Amino acid sequence: MPGPTRDHPGVFIPPPLFYVVAFLIGWLIDRRRHAPILQTDVGALFTVEQALGWVLVVAGIVLAMWGALTFRRARTGIVPITPATTIVAEGPYRFTRNPMYLAMTVAYLGATLIFNSFWTLLLLPAAIACIQRYVIPREERYLAAKFGEAYASYRRRVRRWV
């Protein structure tokens, strides 16, 4: 008799952790050997780059909240170890299949500008690569197996990132 099948994508590492770990490693390297992205006025209280950074952080948070609220309204699992009950194609999911990961990327980039750290910027592609390689394919295989043609149709209409 076969064992029970799991009803989730099998993503056991929380996706935000990839971004947090990459940023922390970059920040720690930057503390030992600061390498700014841009040379700024040392006496300036608030730079244009920092202002843009805060705009990106806020935009990332707003996008993440919009995505989370859309999932909540659809009554489906937002955490990748919970079952999906439906394909969410409303809200930000009309424009991108992965607004949460896009939001984390935008917020990460904003924080990089706020800290003006080349090292954190250098590690952003590593975080994205982990999401692209280890998280998204599992989620997409799960959704394709669970929802079949309905998910295939959604994939044809909506891009993975933007």
Q: Is residue 137 part of a domain?
A: yes
Query: Model confidence over 42-83: pLDDT tens digits?
Result: 666 678 899 999 999 999 999 999 999 999 999 998 888 889
CA angle 143, 20, 18 (to 5 degrees): 35
Whether 87 has a pLDDT exceeding 90, the answer reads: yes
Q: Is residue 98 part of a domain?
A: yes
**pTM score, two decimals?**
0.90
Whether 29 has a pLDDT exceeding 60, the answer reads: yes
Whole-number pLDDT of residue 1: 44
Whole-number pLDDT of residue 11: 86
How many structural domains comprise the chain?
Answer: 1
Q: Report the candidate in 124, 130, 93, 89 with the shortest Cα–Cα distance to residue 110.
A: 124
Q: Is residue 72 part of a domain?
A: yes
Q: Are 16 and 129 in contact (CB under 8 A)?
A: no
Q: Is residue 18 part of a domain?
A: no
Tokens of 114: 């706020």
Q: Are 89 and 154 in contact (CB under 8 A)?
A: yes
- Expressed as residue numbers, the domain containing 69 is 25-31+47-157
Q: Is residue 5 part of a domain?
A: no
CA angle 140, 145, 147 (to 5 degrees): 90
